Amino acid sequence: MADAAPLAQAYARNRSYLQPWEPVRPDSFFTADGQQPLLAAAIAEAASGRSFHWLMVEDGDIAGRISLNDVVRGAFRNAHVGYWVAADRQGKGLATAALNMVAELARDTLGLHRLQAGTLTSNLGSQAVLSRNGFTPIGLAEKYLRINGEWQDHLLFQRILDSGHTPAP
């Protein structure tokens, strides 16, 4: 909960940068008061094992966020991964390193078999991060998510975690 104010500040600094890649956010989302219930929900989801969230921190500042969502156990053992990196931290390998860490944790600690991710068709940077981490394309999902106020197509990717694949550094 102590991260509410710095997280709100990070989102506020990156509001226009993230806008094309995210759902429309109310103004309250960019405040500490707006982040507190979202963080409380994230803590409850982690306690239940349904989702997990991490902040990327560089030089003492929040530089991004990565999440495992929709964790399914049983025969599927799957989760969705999502992430963002601040505009001024692009191209430093933060997302690649964070995704590698989360994939290892998903395999070794959570016992998951598969991770799935989706990107807007135009998000070549995120597609490169996924590729560097051993994700492969599995198809196009038309009008998959409502992003920036419109239903938008997404390329879907997966990584089978227990395949022995070691991602490139």
pTM for the predicted model, two decimal places: 0.91
Domain boundaries, the chain: 4-163
Mean pLDDT over each residue of the chain, to the nearest integer:
94
Fold of the domain built from segment(s) 4-163: Aminopeptidase (3.40.630)
115-131 confidence digits (pLDDT tens): 999 999 999 999 999 99
How far is Cα of residue 31 from the mean position of the Cα atoms in its chain? 20
Q: Give the model's pLDDT for residue 168.
A: 42
Closest by CA position to 102, among listed 138, 78, 73, 66: 66
Q: Does the CA dihedral 122-92-135-17 come out positive or negative?
A: negative
